[in-house]
Amino acid sequence: MPRFMDVHRGMEGITEELLKQAHDADLEIQHEEGVNFEQAWADPSMGLVFCLSEAPSREAVKRIHERAGHPTDEVYEVPIIV
């Protein structure tokens, strides 16, 4: 299954607790689109959050994030991971 990295901008000041809440919201409904969110990272000072997932499509990732309350338009397929 393809892997994707998505980027959320405008998240300045995000805390570890808020990142976990957002990630958990994705995990609760990910099965409905066949997505598996593997990991999330945040840089509070830059306001960036990155999420790595396996999913059938970029659109499936976008739909889960939107339904979980943190939409993004930046979803990139990452075919090479070492």
What does the pLDDT look like over 35-82, one tens digit per residue? 999 999 999 999 999 999 999 999 999 999 999 999 999 999 999 989
So what's the pLDDT on residue 81?
87
DSSP per-residue codes, 44-63: TTTTEEEEEEE-S-HHHHHH
Through-space distance between the first and last CA atoms of the chain, rounded to whole angstroms: 16
Is the residue at 82 inside a domain? no
Is the residue at 37 inside a domain? yes
Give the pLDDT confidence of 10-34 residue by residue, as tens digits.
Answer: 999 999 999 999 999 999 999 999 9
Q: Are 52 and 75 in contact (CB under 8 A)?
A: no
Write out the residue range of the structural domain in which residue 61 sits: 3-77
So what's the pLDDT on residue 22?
97
pTM of the model: 0.94
Q: State the CATH number of the domain containing residue 53.
A: 3.30.70.3090
DSSP 33: G
Is the residue at 12 inside a domain? yes
Domain count, the chain: 1
Is the residue at 65 inside a domain? yes
